[in-house]
Each structure stands twice: as C-alpha cells, then as structure tokens.
Amino acid sequence: MIVAWRLLFMTMLARQCPELPCDVILDEEEWQSLYITARQTAPPKIPPTLNEAIAMMAKLGGYLGRKHDGPPGTKTVWIGLQRTRDFTLAISGYKKSLEK
C-alpha cells in the first residue's frame, strides 16, 4: 500500500509540478544512483528536476519516450523504481566497501 501510494504520488507530482527538484521525493542516494545509471556520468551537485528523474526512471522500466508517446505511466515508473532501488543498494554497498 505504501509503495503504491508513493508511486502514484510521484507520477502525479511529476505531471503537476515538473520543475520541482527530484529530492522532494527521492533520497540523495536514490537520485544520484538513478542519474549515474541512466546518464552514465557522475551526478551533478544539484538534483535534476522531477520531470527528468521520472523520465529516467521510466526509461529503466521500459518507457521509450518517443515524440508521440504520452507521459510515462505508473507501471513503467514502478518497474523503474524497483530497478532504481537495486542500483541504489549496489552503489551504497560499493561506497561502503571503499570506506574500509
């Protein structure tokens, strides 16, 4: 129930307020791992917009983002959120191993 609420809230907020920074709904590690995975570069100092983050997350879930496609749906965002969580765990584990 909580995951479904978060998913619907993220999708709705990205459509209503696309220019908000994504750290409103994502932790710092989550948006940084999402950025690293989707863009294959180091994350910026300031978080991307919510619209950019949802688009990156949806692409991990199978959203193609073509010109005629509508906004990403909850299913693709859900799959992307699951994959983002996996990447977050992997990167945080990697950072902890470097600290030792």
Residues in Cβ contact with 98 at an 8 Å cutoff, skipping those fewer than 6 apart = none
Average pLDDT score over residue span 39-59: 93
Amino acid letter for position 22: C
pLDDT of residue 58: 93
Q: Does position 32 have pLDDT exceeding 90, yes or no?
A: yes
> Per DSSP, what are the bridge partners of residue 8?
none
Residue 6 binned pLDDT confidence (cut-offs 50, 70, 90): confident
Domain ranges within the chain, ordered by starting residue: 2-99
pLDDT of residue 7: 86
Q: Does position 79 have pLDDT exceeding 90, yes or no?
A: yes
CA separation for the pair 40, 92 (Å, rounded): 17
pLDDT tens digits for 51-65? Answer: 999 999 999 999 998
Output the pTM of the full model: 0.84
CA separation for the pair 1, 3 (Å, rounded): 5
Q: 70-80: string of b/e by CB count within 10 Å (b at 16+)?
A: ebbebebbbbb
Fold category of 2-99 in CATH? Transferase Inhibitor Protein From Tn5; Chain A, domain2 (1.10.740)
